[in-house]
Amino acid sequence: MKQELLLLLGVAAVWSVLAAVYALAPGLGMPGYARVWGGGAVVFLILAAVLGMTRRRTRG
């Protein structure tokens, strides 16, 4: 399950970077993009956390 965790964290990282670019780059003026990609990053982080907890419980 390690591969799945890394893939989900990678996805969350890409979405976070994009959200940060849209939120911080001057002149873009598209806050909706920052909200959605940021929200998506949170969703995939939560999924990664759920997967991590399931993995720990399974091993336990």
Partner 1 sequence: MSSPALASSSFADRLAALSSADRLLCGLLIGFALFALTLGIGYGVAMALARSGVLSFLPDTPYRILTLHGTSAFFYWLFIAQAALLIVLAAGETGRGIALRTFAWIGTVLIAAGFVLSELSALTGTPLLYDANPELGLDDPQVVAGMAGGYLLLAAGLTAISVSGIATILVGPRKVADGFSALGFGLFALAGFLIVSAVAAVNAFLPNLLWALGYAAFPKDATTEWHILFHNLHYLPLMATVLVWYALARNLTGAQSITGAAFSKVVFASYLVFVPPTSLYHMFLEPNLPESMRVAGSLLSLFVSVPTLIAFLIVVASLEAHARANGATGLFGWIRRLPWTNPVIANMGVAMLTMLIGLVFAFVLIQEKLAPLLSDTVFVPGYFHFFAVGTITQTFLAVMMVALPAISGRALWRPAVLSRMPWIVLTGLLLFGVGGIVAGFLGVPRRVVDIGYDGAAPALWRPLMALLGVGGVVFAAGLSVSLYGVARSLIPSRKPASARAGQSVAWTITGATGAPAWTGPVAVLTMVVAMYGATIVAFELMQALPVAASGSSSH
Q: How far is the CB of 26 from partner 1 (least distance, A)?
A: 10
- What does the DSSP assignment read for the chain? -HHHHHHHHHHHHHHHHHHHHHHHSTT---HHHHHHHHHHHHHHHHHHHHHHHHHHHHH-
Q: Binding residues for partner 1, per CB under 8 A?
A: 1-4, 7-8, 10-11, 14-15, 18, 27-30, 32-33, 35-37, 39-40, 43-44, 47, 50-51, 54, 58
Q: How far is the CB of 41 from partner 1 (least distance, A)?
A: 9
Q: How far is the CB of 24 from partner 1 (least distance, A)?
A: 15
